[in-house]
């Protein structure tokens, strides 16, 4: 007996593999997007100093250091 009908079992396996690949790509895309949004970094300029700012004091200050003013 010769049949020309394809077996239906392989169709569900192919669909399953495609779904797994698409879900994996979607999760990877979300993780990559979150990483890139949260790690933008700091942008530091070296423009002119503000009025009343001491040039020697600002050059000695590190990037993460904050100034404290007592009134």
Q: What is the pLDDT of residues 5-62, one digit of tens each?
A: 766 557 888 899 999 999 999 999 999 999 888 877 766 666 676 677 666 665 555 5
Q: Does residue 52 belong to any structural domain of this protein?
A: no
Q: Does residue 27 belong to any structural domain of this protein?
A: yes
Residue 68 has what pLDDT? 74
Provide the 3-class DSSP secondary structure of residue 13: helix
Instruction: Give this prediction's pTM.
Output: 0.46
Token pair 């904050």: residue: 66
Range of the domain at 33: 11-41
Residue 25's alpha-carbon distances to 5, 18, 32, 36, in angstroms, are: 33, 11, 10, 16
Q: Does residue 69 belong to any structural domain of this protein?
A: no
Between 67 and 31, the higher pLDDT residue: 31
Domain total for the chain?
1
Q: Does residue 67 belong to any structural domain of this protein?
A: no
Q: Does residue 1 belong to any structural domain of this protein?
A: no
Residue 44 has what pLDDT? 66
């Amino acid at each position: 007996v010769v049949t020309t009908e394809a077996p239906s079992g392989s169709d569900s396996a192919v669909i399953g593999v495609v779904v797994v690949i698409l879900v994996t790509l979607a999760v990877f895309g979300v993780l990559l997007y979150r990483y890139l949004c949260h790690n933008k970094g700091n942008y530091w300029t070296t423009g002119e100093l503000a009025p009343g700012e001491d040039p020697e004091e600002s050059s000695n200050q590190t990037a993460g250091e904050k100034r404290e003013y007592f009134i």
